Amino acid sequence: MSDCLFCKIAAKEIPAEIVLETDRALAFRDVNPQAPTHVLVIPKEHHADAAALAGADDGLADDVLKAAHAVAVQEGVAEAGYRVVFNTGPAAGQTVFHVHAHVVGGRDLGWPPG
């Protein structure tokens, strides 16, 4: 999509602090971090939300989740614990409609969230 912020980041048209890249996924630091580790993981191809990603049915959701775990390991939060969050739809707080997983860690994360 020509006007999608995350598509432009994936195409390297807009700079981002990239922490991991695979053939199908890209991970970069959130510009408004909510924890010491706050990285967004996106598929390079456009899907609006987690429901659309699940419907892609070609292993892409698996690739995104594996990239999220790789980020947690690389960032040093995997052993202590981390959270992977997909906000789907405006009522859930999704503001960029290109599916993205938030990998959050490096501090205690309370429950319930939000």
Model confidence pLDDT, tens digit, residues 12-63: 999 999 999 999 999 999 999 999 999 999 999 999 999 999 999 789 999 9
DSSP characters over the chain: -TT-HHHHHHTTSS---EEEE-SSEEEEE-SS-SSSEEEEEEESS--SSHHHHHHT-SSHHHHHHHHHHHHHHHHT-TTT-EEEEE--SGGGT--SSS--EEEEESS---SS--
Model confidence pLDDT, tens digit, residues 6-16: 999 999 999 99
Catalytic residues: 100
pLDDT band at 114 (very low <50, low <70, confident <90, very high): low
CA angle 89, 91, 96 (to 5 degrees): 45
Q: What is the mean pLDDT of the chain?
A: 96
Dihedral pair phi/psi, residue 82, rounded to 5°: -150, 165
Residue with tokens 């890209």: 26
> Is the pTM of the predicted complex or chain greater than 0.85?
yes
Model confidence pLDDT, tens digit, residues 65-113: 999 999 999 999 999 999 999 999 999 999 999 999 999 999 999 998 7
